[in-house]
Amino acid sequence: MTTPSWWTVTGVGVMAAVLGWVASRRARRSGGRGGRLGVDPHLLPEPALRWLAKAHGALGVWASEGGEEGGGPRRWHRALEGEKLSPVDLELITRRLEEVQARAGSGAERLEVGVLLFGSVGGQTAAMLLPHRAAQETLAQAGEDLVALLDGVARRPMLEKVEAEDPAIESVGSIGLRLAYQLERMLDAEVLVAIADRENVRVVGVSGRADRRLLDTLAIPGSPMYQVARGHTTSITSIADPLGGIVVDRRSRFTPAIILPIRCGEDPVGAVAFWSAEEAEPVAPVMTEVKETIRSAGTRFVRALRMARLSEEATVDPLTGIKNRRGFEEVIGRVGLQPGALVYADLDRFKQLNDTLGHPAGDSALTHFARLVHNEIRGGDTAARIGGEEFAIWLPGATLAVGARIADHLRVRLGTSRWEWKGQTWPLSASFGVAACPETSATHGNLAAQADAALYQAKRNGRNRVEVAERVGQGNVEEAVGAGMRTED
């Protein structure tokens, strides 16, 4: 048998179905209730691959997982129709898919034995080989199902990790993810799980169909999720964003979110929000099972929260829930030679706010700013309250310019966000100083002094602004910091 030549399929329908798999995946996440549900990871590799092959009359279906991003050794699964592919054909297809996996991407190519549709992302790859005689409609439908297969493969490592964890030592995050995925299967719905943690309500679980950017974000006080999680109300059915519009979300919601409480006994612990595929609440037997599942999770959340608080007590600021100075210094101490930007921020005229509205109002303003910072920075970034009204943000891998842009974004967000105390509004603003390694300092040892000196410069130049540090010698840094001992805020 001669080696088959590879050439791109020119059918517009096939290319639209396959090359658009990323767009389809995003549309499923952001398209509300009209999105397709991915293949259940629990059905992989069997019988899902066999079912897909049979449904489309495919000559073969392949899926791989693991590798650099997926973690663990790379594993290939396949389902073949009879003996229609020779060992040479199989070897050539496997080799081709390994090339696809190495560079990631998606496409459609014609072989001597059929049309190969494929896609790869995050270390996972899926492919389907269809006969040449397959109609355009069949190819397009197969492309859509290939997207669903990739979605299921991508979710499988997370589920395996969660399910392998010892229940006796499970974390808040693993309980949240497990609960979200469990409810998604029961309800055929997009699910969010949030926990009341100190003064905040934090998202600790998102299902496979939910927007994963929401994980670890904080609900806005007064939002539906916040009210239910805090026990201010028993349950809510609302068309509004349950979290209060934290992440810009282009979803077209045609059904309201149903928000149920998580309790331990009679004590509020958190809340679950889901969007059912139906306009009405799920039928009674399903809701009974859902509520029992949530009730069971409540006691586990309380145990995990207690253990987490014991371990975090020394490194977390009790007022804002973000790192304190000690916790921040521990993070910086582990950075090593990693480049990044350090941002210092200080609320403007904070003493005046305290003197006018009182210290409880000042605490509320600090919590407001901490929540804003927490929700705006990336997952790998670290924010801390390192003094009375002073905050620090470490941005690993960020340049000085990127750090300054992020600081200015936070400055604008604070200035445009509404904050009030007992019905009285008060305009909040902050000044920012930015330093970066290696641009302003060859080592991390000088970054704090440089960021603080730049912050002082921002205060001196009129407040509510961002200043960046310049490359200076150690003596000049110490001199600048000495001059920057602030007597006014």
pLDDT tens by residue, 422-454 = 988 899 999 999 999 999 998 888 999 999 999
Last residue of a domain, which of 312, 343, 378? 312
pLDDT for residue 285: 82
Please tell me the predicted confidence (pLDDT) of residue 280.
Answer: 60
pLDDT score at 123: 67
**Could you tell me if 403 and 433 lie in one domain?**
yes
Please give the pLDDT value at position 162: 53
Q: Are residues 304 and 202 in the same domain?
A: yes
Over residues 282-295, the pLDDT tens digits come to 777 888 889 999 99
Tell me, what CATH number does 330's domain have? 3.30.70.270
Predicted confidence at residue 479, as pLDDT, reads 40
Profile the chain (489 residues) by mean pLDDT over runs of 10 residues: 40 43 41 45 71 88 66 71 83 83 77 87 81 86 81 65 56 91 89 90 90 86 94 90 67 74 94 78 82 92 86 84 92 85 97 95 95 87 94 94 95 93 93 95 90 96 95 44 45
Number of domains in the chain: 3
- 1 part of a folded domain: no
Q: What is the pLDDT of residue 255?
A: 77
Please report the pLDDT score of residue 37 as a whole number. Answer: 47
Considering the domain architecture, whether residues 118 and 205 belong to the same structural domain is answered as no
pLDDT of residue 270: 97
Which residue range forms the structural domain that includes residue 472? 325-483
- Position 318 in a domain: no
* Length of the chain measured in residues: 489
Q: What is the pLDDT of residue 108?
A: 86
Please tell me whether residues 151 and 179 are part of one structural domain.
no
What gap in Å lies between CA 466 and CA 405, rounded to an integer? 9
Within a domain: 2: no
For residues 336 and 476, membership in a common domain is answered with yes
Residue 129 covered by a domain: yes
Which residues are CB-neighbours of 469 under 8 A, at least 6 positions away? 400, 433, 434, 435, 436, 440, 441, 450, 451, 453, 454
* DSSP H or E run through 79: strand 75-80
CA–CA gap between residue 123 and residue 367 (Å, rounded): 39
